[in-house]
Structure 1
Amino acid sequence: MSHNLQFYIDGAWVGPVEPKVLDVIDPSNEEAFAQISLGGKADVDKAVAAARRAFGTFSRTTVAERRDTLRRVVEVYKKRSDDLAVAVSREMGAPRPFARDSQVGVGLAHLEKMVEVLGHFEFEHRKGTSLVVKEPVGVVGLITPWNWPLNQITCKVGPALAAGCTMVLKPSEIAPLDAIIFAEILDEAGVPKGVFNLVNGDGPTVGQALASHPDVDMMSFTGSTRAGILVAKAAADTVKRVHQELGGKSANILMADVDLEVAVTKGLAGCFGNSGQSCNAPTRMFVPRDLHDKAAAIAKTAAETFRVGPADAPGTKLGPVVSQLQFDKIQDLIQSGIAEGATLVAGGPGRPADLNRGYYVRPTVFADVTPDMRIAREEIFGPVLSIMPYDTVDQVVHEANNTVYGLASYIQSKDLKKARQVASLMRTGNVHINYPAWDAGMPFGGYKQSGNGREYAEYGLEDFLEIKGILGYEAA
């Protein structure tokens, strides 16, 4: 039985208080392939009440009990991996192998990492005659995006469960089906009723109701900086904790000693991954001025290897972007790059010539990009790379940091001492030296308008905990 038109509240699948449906669009063909129900304030009230009731019991469970719960979630998640991959592929356009290996794979990595963390995490420690205790923050509201849906669901739900919190999840209404399957996974794994609740809906309705709800103790939000500001404002009246992972405009600094072919090709692949729809994508490639033209030629050749097509088509390397809104925004920014004088090296406006339906963006590379251009300042969230020449290390460090964002940065150099020195100057939550492998154990989050708080492993767990100091613990 499909639960697409239902919410998961208090351990049961229930209909909305006021029926209202929304089509889920397949970005590969622009056609509706499913419907979900949109919730309202009354649905949020029911879900929060269930979470509040469950908190009294779940917050007192032992670490071993919560670890066992997460282990069961991991096993059911593995069993439903193919279902999750198909859902993600259809709802947000990820090519099937990428959906299975990366989109679903990172979710599993977060859950397994949280099981590992609970094996060694200290929830209390002695300090002289006192005891310092870390306790669950309470009922948490979780708002997750469409671009890496399972990544963000698992790196919020995992630590919330590990901490002993109860929760209400509002996934993106654009890519909601994987979250419904995830709720089924938690139900089958035996997560106690009321601990996890799912209400689908839009930001202005369900998101606002969650963020402003007096019985929600914390909001964890991933999405645009614009929406994050609205969540923070809605949460302010009840002085709840707000954790935000927001936008980015990441710099990729290529030092003069790099193997240019490798550095440019890998950098472009990082920018184009997930059709460019990653908040930490290395979208600004800084290259020494005397290597700029050669880098542009390498990037052109690399961009032309990216086969664009439907998510379910064999050989597709670059699927569509998620929606008409995203497509239009990306097209506007590509046009702005041309209008403001950047050199169009590859791609450009419009769809690829052989695709007349679907939200397909041509793999695009601009060279001779200057810091004042929109494509150098605004988060594009599509397969668009900006190559920017620089003259000195001091200059490139300044330009890399000269952005309102601070999520990630990338440094490429054969001289590790030099790379580490430049990394120490980056005002970003992550710095990647020489394209390292992704690591679920590293903290993830940003400086400045890229947000606050950290996710992944014990760093994410800490954000769902309150700290209590018990003084006189040894007093008679």
Structure 2
Amino acid sequence: MIEKRQFYIDGAWVDPVAPHDLEVIDPATEEVCAVISLGDKADTDAAVAAAKAAFPSWADTPLEERVALIRKLGEIYKARQEEMGEAIRLEMGAPKDLALNSQWGAGSWHLDGFLEALEGFEFEKPYKGVDRMRLEPIGVCGLITPWNWPMNQVVLKAIPAMAVGCTMVLKPSEIAPLSSLLFAEMVDEAGFPKGVFNLVNGDGVGVGSQLSSHPDVDMISFTGSTRAGIAISKAAADSLKRVSLELGGKGANVIFADADDKAVKRGVIHCMQNSGQSCNAPTRMMVERSRYPLALEEAKAAAEATKTGPTTESGRHIGPVVSELQYNKIQGLIEVGIKEGATLLAGGLGRPDDTNKGYYVRPTVFADVTPEMTIYREEIFGPVLSIIPFDTEEEAIEMANDTVYGLTNYIQTQDDEKRLRVARKVRSGMVETNGIGRQNGSPFGGYKQSGNGREGGAWGIEEFCEVKAISGVPME
């Protein structure tokens, strides 16, 4: 069993001030796979103090030196791919191939995107020939990351913060901390100055709240549930620190009658990816009525073709959800969907056939879902898809926007004018069309209760900066 009780503070691995062990559960086996320690206020204070002390010199370090260290970190990250994939497989139940490729790869992809964005990024530029505008690091940042895409979120926060000259304290999810501890090892190996990057394990009530309310933390960057984002915003309000939030979603996948033949199957696969544990998953499939009967057949077939399986085996199967708590929540929402009258096309309650251990959920599809149903409204965060018919373009837009969330919406049509017209009308931070993914460096973030910041590329770099206007000193 893995024992990782220490924190990374001020360039060294240190014991917690007071022991507070927590068992990490492998969701595929329901067995303990590791033991960590949860930090408390003294650990948080030590990490913040280290970051605060390191900030002046790190902010003054030339950009090219900071970038050189980030490049070295990227080389180490790529060299240790197998270790990182195994850590993610173990802690959050991603099947082997998903962990080694998509989960690990998300971190590598974003790191490369930031390096590309930094090549032409202007931290100081002229304004009207007389003034100049400067982007400066905001200071000490508290980074609070989730369990569902651990390296995706750690890299989206830590790398731009490092690049602009911020120092930081990372609190990864206590459910899935192993990958972040490995990331801290990589930072140490790369040779970053002590105090630039610190890691303290803990839960939201403890270290998360301590960072959010800490007077010496200048910014909180949080990814997680909308409920937790609201709590963090309230805790941060007393010190008026900046809060950047990437929260929940209930994405609409609008499939018009003229969509390509693979649109429905593609939407089901995307919804089920990562066992449905993605905030940008297209969980509400809205189908034009003339195509609706065929879409139900296609969705049922695609869900039944989605297999669950051991995380230790290669393949395109999906793994378990991350915890017993998540499993029970998803089962409860499936039961509510049935009771409220949605038509169960595939999946349903209980574990998949021949599975009696692990938090595996049956890939589930509901048809004839209506806006008043709970499964239409709530983010389920599991492999559960709701399908709804619509008659007109205007109705589709209204339904897509009929949610408190606004992270990612999806549009499928071969009519380019309609595709752009609908994309402009749906209220979400991102719109993906016809199965085409967003480009590297494209900003990630949402409207409404999906959050208020942007991550990735140049937008993600600016997120960790303050703007300073200087008059009367023109640039040559």
The residue number in structure 2 matching 1:197 is 198
User: Per-residue deviation at 1:310?
Assistant: 1.7
The residue number in structure 2 matching 1:421 is 421
Paired residues in the alignment total 474
The residue number in structure 1 matching 2:375 is 375
Q: Percent identity over the alignment?
A: 58
Q: 2:97·2:316 contact (CA, 8 Å) conserved in 1?
A: no
Q: 2:224·2:248 contact (CA, 8 Å) conserved in 1?
A: yes
- The whole-number CA distance in structure 1 between the counterparts of 2:277 and 2:358 is 16
The residue number in structure 2 matching 1:445 is 445
Amino acid corresponding to residue 155 of structure 2 in structure 1: T
What TM-score, normalized by structure 2, do the two folds share? Answer: 0.98
The residue number in structure 2 matching 1:41 is 41
Alignment of 1:281 with 2:281, yes or no, is: yes
Alignment of 1:137 with 2:135, yes or no, is: no
Pairing of 1:90-101 with structure 2 (within 5 A): 90-101=90-101
User: Per-residue deviation at 1:3?
Assistant: 6.9
The structure-2 alpha-carbon separation of the partners of 1:157 and 1:3, relative to structure 1 and needing over 3 Å to count, comes to farther
Q: 1:220·1:244 contact (CA, 8 Å) conserved in 2?
A: yes
The residue number in structure 2 matching 1:124 is 124
- The whole-number CA distance in structure 2 between the counterparts of 1:439 and 1:354 is 40
Alignment of 1:305 with 2:337, yes or no, is: no
Pairing of 1:98-113 with structure 2 (within 5 A): 98-113=98-113
In the TM superposition, structure 1's runs of 4+ consecutive aligned residues that sit over 3 Å from their partners are none
| 1:304 aligned counterpart, secondary structure | helix
Amino acid corresponding to residue 467 of structure 1 in structure 2: V
Q: 1:271·1:383 contact (CA, 8 Å) conserved in 2?
A: yes
- The whole-number CA distance in structure 2 between the counterparts of 1:2 and 1:375 is 38
| 1:421 aligned counterpart, secondary structure | helix
The Cα offsets for residues 157-188 of structure 1, whole Å up to 9 and x where unpaired, read as: 01001110000000000000000000000000
The residue number in structure 2 matching 1:87 is 87
Amino acid corresponding to residue 167 of structure 2 in structure 1: T
Q: 1:109·1:440 contact (CA, 8 Å) conserved in 2?
A: yes
- The whole-number CA distance in structure 2 between the counterparts of 1:332 and 1:340 is 12
User: Per-residue deviation at 1:316?
Assistant: 5.5
The residue number in structure 2 matching 1:20 is 20
- The whole-number CA distance in structure 1 between the counterparts of 2:59 and 2:174 is 30
Pairing of 1:437-476 with structure 2 (within 5 A): 437-474=437-474
Amino acid corresponding to residue 83 of structure 1 in structure 2: E
Q: Which residues of structure 1 form unaligned runs of 5+?
A: none
The residue number in structure 2 matching 1:253 is 254
Amino acid corresponding to residue 255 of structure 1 in structure 2: F
- The whole-number CA distance in structure 1 between the counterparts of 2:258 and 2:33 is 50
Alignment of 1:234 with 2:235, yes or no, is: yes
Q: Which residues of structure 2 form unaligned runs of 5+?
A: none
Q: 2:114·2:441 contact (CA, 8 Å) conserved in 1?
A: no
What TM-score, normalized by structure 1, do the two folds share? Answer: 0.98
- The whole-number CA distance in structure 2 between the counterparts of 1:80 and 1:367 is 44
The Cα offsets for residues 263-307 of structure 1, whole Å up to 9 and x where unpaired, read as: 100000110010000000000000012322211111111111111
The residue number in structure 2 matching 1:392 is 392
- The whole-number CA distance in structure 2 between the counterparts of 1:317 and 1:169 is 32
Q: 2:3·2:35 contact (CA, 8 Å) conserved in 1?
A: no
The Cα offsets for residues 236-268 of structure 1, whole Å up to 9 and x where unpaired, read as: 000000000000000000011113x40100000
State which drifts further: 2-11 or 131-140.
Answer: 2-11
RMSD value, Cα: 1.2
